[in-house]
Amino acid sequence: MLPPFWSLVEAHGDELLVHARRLSGEAAEDVLQDALLRALRAYPKLRHAEHLRAWLYRVTTTTAIDHHRRAKREVVMDELPVVATYDTDHDDFEGLIAPLNETAQTALRLRFVDDLDYDGIAARLGCSSAAARQRVSTAVRTLRESYA
Amino acid sequence: MTGLPASLLESVAAAAVREGLADALFTRLKTPIGRLLVVSGPQGVVRVAFETEDEDAALAEVAAALGPRVIGSDREMAAPRDALAGYFEGEPLDLPVDLRLARAPFRHAVLERLREVPRGKTVSYGELAARAGNPKAARAVGTACARNPVPIIVPCHRVLPGTGRLGSYRGGPERKAALLDLEGIRTR
């Protein structure tokens, strides 16, 4: 028999928030709130009462990934309105960034084609995460200015 | 208990209620006779537990009867919280109750009759047995009271032995004495 849902929340809520923080940083509370609601919707349909803690971790992870995807779409719209109008088709994108120098092109490809976060870009470029962020934002600014 | 922010938990509870996802709601309330756990279903309060009882067991009992989506929220339980706080300040207590956790028909009948005993009045086990339709069942009335799922709201503290003594109580005799004292009834 399934235990009262809130007993799970009270027993595991703290560690789930830590987990959400690891995945989503500042958005952790929003992610966890959403994850608990998703879990609650599915709860009566669970077929057995085993591994409920692991199940809550899974729901939290999935929710964090969904939030991340959604946030990234919004970031792309925010940071790169020029690209958005070009429909991010591969050829269009390459044509769009062609006027930039090689460093800027690489940074933009890693960010918007390979979809890497700044840590991922830093690892590829062999620089710090802050430097990666700097390169991407400089490239975006240059691009904007060149099409303004 | 959890260290999660209360605002997060209340948001989850509010959304759950809005979506109709809550089988039952509960709150913990500080009172002059200690902490109370109060649990409500769609039709009313189903369970009140004293701090001396096993809280997990009380919530599990509710989950088994109403469903597992049992959710804690002070805000969604504001009405019963206010009503109980008012009771301890001397106001009459009139909250809807759901007696489904008292399954046996006679126990159910006893609790229904007991609801009609007002604040400040008492009744003997024998008299309550008669009102519930079986004058010889004073002992069964004792059991019904001892297992009353919603003490205070269904006032089993107002049931006294014919001897004029205090008798027993689910929350312990000292709580029974305190409730009667609150209602202006002196006991030995």
A38-45 contacts, C-beta under 8 A, 24 or more apart: A38/A62, A38/A63, A39/A5, A40/A5, A40/B12, A40/B16, A40/B21, A40/B69, A40/B71, A41/B19, A41/B21, A43/A2, A43/A5, A43/B68, A43/B69, A44/A2, A44/B67, A44/B68, A44/B69
- B68/A2 Cβ within 8 A: yes
Q: Does A9 touch chain B (CB under 8 A)?
A: yes
Which residues in chain A are contacts of B70 at CB distance < 8 A? 4-7
Which domains are seen in chain B, by residue range? Answer: 6-88 (3.30.160), 105-182 (1.10.10.10)
Can you give the pLDDT at residue B144? Answer: 94
Cβ A51 vs Cβ B76: under 8 Å: no
Residues comprising chain B, all counted: 188
Nearest-by-CA chain B residue for A36: B12
ipTM (interface pTM): 0.90
Query: What pLDDT band is residue A85 in, cutting at 50, 70 and 90?
Result: very low
CATH number of the domain within which A126 lies: 1.10.10.10
Of residues B27 and A61, more confidently modeled? B27
A56: left (phi > 0), else alpha (psi -120 to 50), else beta? alpha
Can you give the pLDDT at residue A5? Answer: 97
Tell which of A46, A71, A96 closes a domain. A71
- A44/B3 Cβ within 8 A: no
Q: Which amino acid is at B47?
A: R
- What range defines the domain where residue A87 resides? 80-147
Of residues B34 and A103, more confidently modeled? B34
Number of separate domains in chain A: 2
> In this structure, are A45 and A85 located in the same domain?
no
Tokens 């062609």 -> residue:
A98
Q: B156 catalytic, yes or no?
A: yes
Q: Does A33 touch chain B (CB under 8 A)?
A: yes
Q: Which amino acid is at A98?
A: A
C-alpha closest to that of B95 among B48, B28, B142, B144 = B48
> In this structure, are A67 and A126 located in the same domain?
no
> In this structure, are A62 and A104 located in the same domain?
no
Instruction: Assess whether pLDDT exceeds 60 at residue A86.
Output: no
Which phi and psi (to 5°) does residue A12 adopt? -115, -5
Beta-carbon contacts of A97 under 8 Å, excluding residues fewer than 6 positions away, are A104, A105, A108, A109, A139, A143
C-alpha closest to that of B158 among B175, B179, B135 = B179
> In this structure, are A34 and A93 located in the same domain?
no
Instruction: Assess whether pLDDT exceeds 70 at residue A126.
Output: yes
Q: Which amino acid is at B101?
A: L
- Between A and B, how many residue pairs show a Cβ–Cβ distance under 8 A? 72
> In this structure, are A98 and A58 located in the same domain?
no
CA R_g for chain A: 20
Pair of tokens at residue A128 = 């710090």
> In this structure, are A53 and A110 located in the same domain?
no
> In this structure, are A61 and A84 located in the same domain?
no
**How many C-beta neighbours within 10 Å does residue B79 have?**
12
> In this structure, are A85 and A121 located in the same domain?
yes
**How many C-beta neighbours within 10 Å does residue B59 have?**
25
Beta bridge partners of B36: B29, B50
DSSP SS3 for B123: strand
**How many C-beta neighbours within 10 Å does residue B9 have?**
22
Q: Does A14 touch chain B (CB under 8 A)?
A: yes
Distance CA B148, CA A65 (A): 47
Of B48, B110, B129, B156, which one is the catalytic site residue?
A: B156
Lowest mean pLDDT among A15-19, A101-105, B71-75: A101-105
Can you give the pLDDT at residue A145? Answer: 67
Q: Tens of pLDDT along chain B (188 residues)? A: 567 999 999 999 999 999 999 999 999 999 999 999 999 999 999 999 999 999 999 999 999 999 999 999 999 999 999 999 999 999 999 899 999 999 899 999 999 999 999 999 999 999 999 999 999 999 999 999 999 999 999 999 999 998 778 888 989 999 999 999 999 988 76
Tell which of A71, A91, A118 closes a domain. A71
Can you give the pLDDT at residue A90? Answer: 47
Nearest-by-CA chain A residue for B25: A6
Distance CA A33, CA A97 (A): 40
DSSP SS3 for B118: coil
CATH number of the domain within which A53 lies: 1.10.1740.10
